Amino acid sequence: MKAGKRSPGHALLGAPIADRFLPTAVCLLPTTVLTADCFLPTADCSSTGTDETFQRLALAEARAALAHDDVPVGAVAVQGGRLIGRAHNQRELLRDPTAHAEMIALTQAAEAMGRWRLTGVTLYVTLEPCAMCAGAMVLARIDRLVYGATDPKAGAVESLYRLLDDPRLNHRVPATGGLLAEECGDLLVEFFRRRRSVKE
């Protein structure tokens, strides 16, 4: 970046922290080639009607990323049945490698609750979280995670690592995987299929 120029995120630094993240899109791993077997349903899917309702909101967030040609992953944070955070990836929009949907939703939840310790919060995500996001959930002390498709290439809940139930850490996060996994996975697979066809 040339001297004197500022990233889009800098223009928002004077705003309340939750307002720095715009409800318009961004990214996961744009250089990774993903195929249909990359996003798999998990066996553990004992969901309730309420879980499905909130997961569909996360899926709507994921779809919003398509308008910006970014990887469709969405997340919502809920406390006591109240929506306190909702986001999709904004990595490229903010030029910020940490701006995954989960991180932004957690930041919004902390702003709404007025504290960093997010006890009582359930996070709904369309894709199994990566190591960064899973670590943030442990640090935030959330009560529960619900996610859709697994991510064999980067997932840190059950695929590559098991950060949320690692006994060496000082907090465990119960996780339910596979909720609306097919819809969540299909959205990602179709996105990468279109991206590859354009490059060809």
**For every one of its 200 residues, what pLDDT tens digit does the chain have, with 9 covering 90 and above?**
444 433 333 333 334 444 544 443 322 323 223 333 444 443 333 445 699 999 999 999 999 988 777 789 999 999 999 999 999 988 877 888 898 999 999 999 999 999 999 999 999 999 999 999 999 999 999 999 999 999 999 999 999 999 999 999 999 999 999 999 999 999 999 988 988 888 76
Longest dimension (CA), the chain: 53
What pTM, to 2 d.p., does this model score?
0.78
CA–CA dist 46, 41 (Å, integer): 13
Residue 56 confidence (pLDDT): 97
Question: How many helices (H) and strands (E) would you count in the chain?
Answer: 5, 5
Q: What is the DSSP letter of 81?
A: T
Question: Which pLDDT does position 49 carry in this prediction?
Answer: 65
How far is Cα 197 from Cα 200, in angstroms, rounded to an integer? 5
**Angle, helices 101-113/131-140, rounded to nearest 10 degrees:** 20
- What pLDDT, on a 0 to 100 scale, did the predictor assign at position 68? 77
- Residue 84 φ/ψ, nearest 5 degrees: -120, 0
Which of the residues are catalytic? 102
Whose tokens are 């997010």? That residue is: 118
